[in-house]
Amino acid sequence: MSRLRVLPLVVASLAVAVAARGFDLCLPTANDALLRPGADADFFQPTIEGTVESGMFGCVRANGHRFHEGIDIKCLQRDRQGEPTDPVHAVADGEVGFINAKPGLSNYGRYIVLEHTWDGVRVCTLYAHLRDIAPGLAAGQPVKKGQVIATLGHSTNTREGISRERAHLHFEINFLLNPNFYIWYPKREPDAPPFGNFNGQNLIGLDPAAFLRAYAANRKVNFSEYVSRLPIGFTMLVGARPFPWLRLHPEQVQPAAGTPIAYEIGMTSWGIPVTVWPRTAEEIGEPQRRQLQRGLPVVLRVSEPELARWTCYELVKRNARGDGWIFTERGRDCFEILTYTP
């Protein structure tokens, strides 16, 4: 087992190819405190724990033991009854991918997923806990940056609910892991809600606050390069068969040195594929090859300092002997979703 130390992951040739494309963003609500130094408390809505950090992305809840997939943005406007009235805006041009108008079906409550292409990279934005959805908005419709798509709210199906006082917009920037999820998931969960590919388990996100701040600092930021610089927590080795991620994200696939028998996929600690290296037989050891022949993924390299930052969302762990790394149950699910082909 080798450790992951140096991770220079920017694909220079891709950067040249897409540098001129660009994209244009706005914030999802009128709350712009994110971009003001020292104003985090005015932007992030805390949970009942009361800490500003609990409204941020990552291992920020339950004393660092629970993962939060997006950011929670505070309400600025209310009506006489104290209900939120903040308009929610599409952050960029795109298309409506999915709308759930039935809050009882999801802990997201009412939510919308928009699909975009930023610098050649397919990406989704998710807007949740909505009070209502803009009249006439429907899946398949184009949207423009800044277009009002909903009203901020506190809808959810969780037992504890979200109080009116804590109304907020839950916002995510996501990647769709697999366009065949709609086939895979019902076989596993026959009673799954009718969300198709836009179930939260098929959406894996980056830190929206960090990216929005990076964009505000440099509006020419290249999204493909930004993703390529995300820190890798581990790499996994999978057999060299076609699976959808390779087609959806060709910008991540590095040149092959020969005929590949496997792909080494660099993953963030919480499960975003960052880069894909084709590997030939000469580059893979016999134990790893035997495991691949059984159809099993291999944890190939790890960055222990990076994994230590994400202990609330473990995808890999040390084996019982302590001399290697294996996938957790959550990690096996991630691998299965990513590589599933009907």
Give residue 199's pLDDT: 95
Stretch (H or E) spanning 161: none
SS (H, E, C) 249-285: CHHHECCCCCCEEEEEEEECCCCCEEEEEEEEHHHCC
Q: How confident is the model at residue 9 (pLDDT cuts 50, 70, 90)?
A: very low
d(CA 91, CA 93): 7
User: Any alpha helices (H) in 19-59, and if so which ranges?
Assistant: 40-43
pLDDT score, position 10: 30
If we measure between CA atoms, which residue out of 223, 203, 179, 213 comes closest to residue 128? 203
Residue type, 64: G
The CA angle 144-37-73, to the nearest 5 degrees, is 45
**Per DSSP, what are the bridge partners of residue 301?**
2, 235
Nearest to 169, CA basis, from 207, 113, 129: 129
Task: Supply the pLDDT for residue 14.
Answer: 27
Task: State how beta strands 234-239 and 148-151 pair.
Answer: unpaired
- Pair of tokens at residue 157: 């199906």
* Strand partners of residue 127: 112, 171
Q: What sign does the CA torsion over 225, 226, 231, 232 have?
A: negative
Q: pLDDT tier at 15 (50, 70, 90 boundaries)?
A: very low
Q: Report percent pLDDT > 90 for the chain.
A: 89
Task: Answer yes or no: is pLDDT of 151 > 50.
Answer: yes
Residue 3 scores a pLDDT above 70: no
Burial class (CB in 10 A: 0-12, 13-18, 19+), 142: exposed
What number is the average pLDDT over the span 179-194? 93
**Domain definitions of the chain by residue range:** 2-9+228-339, 21-217
What's the pLDDT band for 12 if we cut at 50, 70, 90? Answer: very low
Average pLDDT over residues 125-142: 98
Q: What is the mean pLDDT of residues 92-111?
A: 97
Going from the C-alpha of 96 to that of each of 100, 115, 132, 216, the distances in angstroms are 11, 6, 16, 24
pLDDT band at 4 (very low <50, low <70, confident <90, very high): very low
Looking at every residue in the chain, the average pLDDT score rounds to 92
How many percent of the chain have pLDDT more than 70?
94
Q: What pLDDT does 37 receive? A: 96
Residue 72: C-alpha distances to residues 28, 31, 118, 153, 174 (Å): 11, 11, 23, 11, 15
Distance (Å, whole) CA 329 – CA 57:
22
What pLDDT, on the 0 to 100 scale, is given for residue 281?
A: 93
CATH no. for 21-217: 2.70.70.10
